[in-house]
Amino acid sequence: MAQPNPKSEIRNPQSLCWHGWRIELPEGWDPVRLEGDFAAGYALLTDLHRPRLGIKWETPSQRKLNVKKIVHDAMRDEVGALATAEAAEVDRGDRWQACSLFTEREPPGRDVFVGYSTISKRLLQVVYHVPKNGRDRVFADTILPALADQSDEAIQEWSVYELSCRVSREFVLQSQRLLAGDLSLSFAANRGRRLLVVRQIAVAQIALQRTKLDQWLRRQQSLSRKQYRPDKVQEPEALATDDGRKLIGLRGTMRRRRRFFFLRSLPREQVTFALHDEARDRIVIVQSSEEETARTAIQSVGWAQGSKA
């Protein structure tokens, strides 16, 4: 389980890890919009009452790059020229350049951080909506210090809502399905020749009353039945996560149908695991074109929540 910042004022923090960015958030702040890809995107987080945080990133052209100018222009576009002149420079180490922070004098309003990451060569803009009932130090003292660009790590962390996993940097997020009680992330590498899907169903105690584990496995396989033929036999599996939780369930394989032999980019087979994470009361479904990749992903599922339900 990820350890919170010991100096954090946030109670029960949760991690949002998305396209290499990692940020620590108060409990109850959840994304309502997640758009874009690694190069450019946007995330909006709210609580039950109002928007709290906006995160925007983009990759500027490296031709004749002037980092200070693009940071200044981004800040000006967000808060205006007069407010940009009041923004303070922020030193965030050698992994960042030209970081600037504007703090709203009288709430309600917006605090804005803009900085350029030397790791991924992306411009990041974070907007904090200051509540009208008074200023707090959550943004400046907790959220910004925990903000990190981890895109250079060999193993990438992903965490959204209660679904979290770690995958190789080679795998790029292709799509996400973030429904209440049914979360999934789909990755691909090597131009689609390597596939990985990490899915989580909640609440397992209720879901398993309606649909048995072997049926959940078949349902996942059915999404690829046009190109693949599932084996009839499902084998029992018992795996352990990195933090010691036991996941018990089934493993099934699918083989590419003969009529698709000419599609060399289509993996020859896929393996699917359907497991019960009893400690977290979740069903974990992982499907991949490589068994070792699937097993490695399973070991990391739930890293951001551990045994919390």
In a shared domain, residues 139 and 43 = yes
In a shared domain, residues 258 and 202 = yes
Whether the pLDDT of residue 7 is over 80: the answer is no
- Final residue belonging to a domain, choices 116, 149, 182: 149
Type of residue found at 302: G
What is the predicted pLDDT for the residue at 9?
Answer: 47
> In 3-state terms, what secondary structure has residue 47?
coil
In a shared domain, residues 194 and 282 = yes
CA 173 to mean position of chain CA atoms: 9
In a shared domain, residues 127 and 220 = no
User: Region 224-251: what's the mean pLDDT?
Assistant: 96
User: In which band, very low, low, confident or very high, does the pLDDT at 135 lie, cut at 50, 70 and 90?
Assistant: confident
Report CA torsion sign: 288, 230, 205, 202. positive
pLDDT single digits (tens) 284-309: 999 999 999 999 999 999 999 755 43
In a shared domain, residues 277 and 201 = yes
pLDDT single digits (tens) 28-37: 999 999 999 9
The answer to the question of residue 78 being in a domain is: yes
Whether the pLDDT of residue 104 is over 90: the answer is no
The answer to the question of residue 210 being in a domain is: yes
> In 3-state terms, what secondary structure has residue 78?
helix
In a shared domain, residues 189 and 123 = no
Q: Which domain holds residue 239?
A: 155-300
Q: Is the peptide bond before 13 cis (omega within 30 degrees of 0)?
A: no
Q: Tell me if 84 sits within 8 A of 102, measured CB to CB.
A: yes
pLDDT single digits (tens) 28-62: 999 999 999 999 999 999 999 899 999 999 999 99
In a shared domain, residues 130 and 168 = no
The answer to the question of residue 74 being in a domain is: yes
In a shared domain, residues 274 and 189 = yes
In a shared domain, residues 59 and 41 = yes
d(CA 21, CA 63): 24
In a shared domain, residues 35 and 101 = yes
- Among 93, 115, 92, CA closest to 102: 115
- Final residue belonging to a domain, choices 149, 171, 206: 149
Number of structural domains in the chain: 2
CATH number at residue 180: 3.40.1000
3-state helix, strand, coil in the chain (%, to 5): 20, 45, 40
- Final residue belonging to a domain, choices 129, 149, 169: 149
In a shared domain, residues 135 and 219 = no
CA 183 to mean position of chain CA atoms: 11
The answer to the question of residue 110 being in a domain is: yes
The answer to the question of residue 306 being in a domain is: no
d(CA 164, CA 123): 25
Whether the pLDDT of residue 2 is over 70: the answer is no
User: In which band, very low, low, confident or very high, does the pLDDT at 6 lie, cut at 50, 70 and 90?
Assistant: very low
What is the predicted pLDDT for the residue at 13?
Answer: 66
pLDDT single digits (tens) 107-123: 888 999 999 999 999 99
User: Pairing relation of β-strands 122-130 and 21-25?
Assistant: unpaired
In a shared domain, residues 168 and 200 = yes
Q: 0.95 cut: is pTM over it?
A: no
Residue 3 DSSP symbol: P
The answer to the question of residue 13 being in a domain is: no
The answer to the question of residue 118 being in a domain is: yes
Q: What is the mean pLDDT of the chain?
A: 92
Token duo for residue 84? 């940009």
The answer to the question of residue 179 being in a domain is: yes
